[in-house]
Amino acid sequence: MQLTLEFGGGLELLCDSKKVHHVNVDLSDGEEKLTMKGLLSWAKTNLIKERPEMFMKGDTVRPGVLVLVNDCDWELSGHLDTTLEDKDVVVFISTLHGG
């Protein structure tokens, strides 16, 4: 499944300072669909190069990270259970405090 993953607000520093990643995620054996939960563990293994605790806490993202699936807050699409489809764009953005 082709997906675009984007990291912002400083999270890109965890994956070689690259913001946009075009990736191909295969379903694990026995799975019929890819959910955000599956994508998070895939991203943690395959994209996050350092300090994984700055990206995830438990099986979800750490506090202060906003997750957007096709420009929409994942709270509105089912959080970890959000089902992803081919060509979806998933954005992980850390909230900023500076000014």
Partner 1 sequence: MESQREEPNRKILDEIDALKAQKSDIEARISSLESQLRDSSLAKQCNGAFPSISTVASNHSRHGLPSDAIYRYSRHLLLPSFGVQGQSNLLKSSVLVVGAGGLGSPALLYLAACGVGRIGIVDHDVVELNNMHRQVIHTEAYIGKSKVESAAAACRSINSTIEIVEYREALRTSNALEIFSKFDLIIDATDNAPSRYMINDCCVVLKKPLVSGAAVGLEGQLTIYNYQGGPCYRCLFPTPPPVTACQRCSDSGVLGVVPGVIGILQALEAIKIASNVGEPLSGRMLLFDALSGRIRVVKIRGQSPQCEACGEKSTFNPEQFREFDYEKFTQTPLSTAPPKLNLIPVESRISCKEYNEKVVNGEAHILVDVRPAHHFDIISLPNSLNIPLSSLEARLSEISAALKEEETRKSVSGARLYTVCRRGNDSQRAVQLLHKLGFTSAKDIVGGLTSWQTEVDPDFPAY
Cα distance between residue 62 and residue 6, in whole Å = 16
Residue 1: count other Cβ atoms within 10 Å of its Cβ: 15
CB of 11 to partner 1, least distance (A): 9
Sheet holding 65-69, edge to edge: 20-24, 2-8, 89-94, 65-69
Contacting range for partner 1; rule: CB under 8 A; set: 7-15, 22-30, 40-48, 80-88: 7-15
Contact residue for partner 1 among 66, 80, 83, 88 (CB under 8 A) = 66
By CB under 8 A, is residue 23 in contact with partner 1? no
By CB under 8 A, is residue 59 in contact with partner 1? no
